[in-house]
Structure 1
Amino acid sequence: MTDLVTGEDFLRLFTSFEHTAFRLELRDQYNEPSERERFAAFLSGEAEQLDRLNKIQRVRWFDLMRDATSAGKRVERVRVVTEPHGDYTRYTLALTAGNASVGEDIRYLPRHHTSVSALPSWDYWLFDSRLVARLWFDDGGDSRLLGAELIEVPAQVVEHCAWRDAAWHYAIPHTEYTKG
């Protein structure tokens, strides 16, 4: 693993891309410190507390996404999910409407779908089909994001583009996925 991009340097990736940002999410749970209180509120059914925390803690991300999508840029994600859903997936499903309200297009791909076996085993962001930000996590049971390894090697970028295309082709839009 090379030097990882973190913090403000990582967030700058979302202000510097020109056309598209795509994320492939493969984990059943992410344990970011900034999410712990919101996740606990969700699990305990404290809807008012969850709404309050979302307004406080998600503002910066929503501002970044709103700025990007208002400028005509696309922000897309495919979340590979295990069915039946665990608590964390139910939590993210409940929050996705907020992401959609600022222009993110988030879709779901059930883990049992045959196309999933051809995907990589890591999460990544792909910017403008030219820069990959491979995400590294603390796998000591925490699943906390450590940072992103930036990859610009053409053959590796093309491979990530192919994975994006395959995942996107079979993924189900959020509104359709949550109808059932």
Structure 2
Amino acid sequence: MKNKQAELINQLSDKELLYNLVLTQIILLTISFFLGIILFKDYSAFFDLFHLGDIRIITIGLPIGILVVLYDLFMMKVTPARFHDDGGINERIFSSLSSPMIIVVTFLIAFCEEVLFRGVLQTHIGLVWTSIIFAVVHYRYLFNWYLFVNVMMLSFGLGWLYEETRNLWIVITAHFVIDMLLGLIIRKKNRKGCLT
């Protein structure tokens, strides 16, 4: 199954890969919209999950995102490279994007995923089931035990953060910082590799 996925990914151009990534996020947001209509009693119950003026967005969301990236970078240094192999998808996506586009794309990912998983699902089915669904949706990690454990831990961590703060913007910020910094690091590493 993993080889079939890798073949499929290799057949896509960088532009098609980005298109599919963005389309997936739009699908997640659409699912959030329809589930939200069904599960929330009214619009205000959903919008009450967002508190933009909360200082914890900066004091908690930002540092947690940075700490997760530092942990990930440390683990990349002390574990074999095969542990971090997602089939080259992240390298393909982030190497082909400009830095501003990485910021836009990773914000879109963080926003769409957290609205669905923490905002809609976790609010209604709880932390455990939401974390399992989050990990399974990140399909390419199912074939690498290390990445699967990482995505499960990240999902439980983001879920716990939401349980503690009850503010989606804090969780979106942490998720965004993680994806953005790792995306920029991948881009820089691959650009440097192209120059040598």
TM-score, normalised with respect to structure 2: 0.31
TM-score, normalised with respect to structure 1: 0.33
Instruction: Give the number of the structure with larger relative contact order, counting CA–CA contacts within 8 Å between residues 6 or more apart.
Output: 2
More strand by share: 1
More helix by share: 2
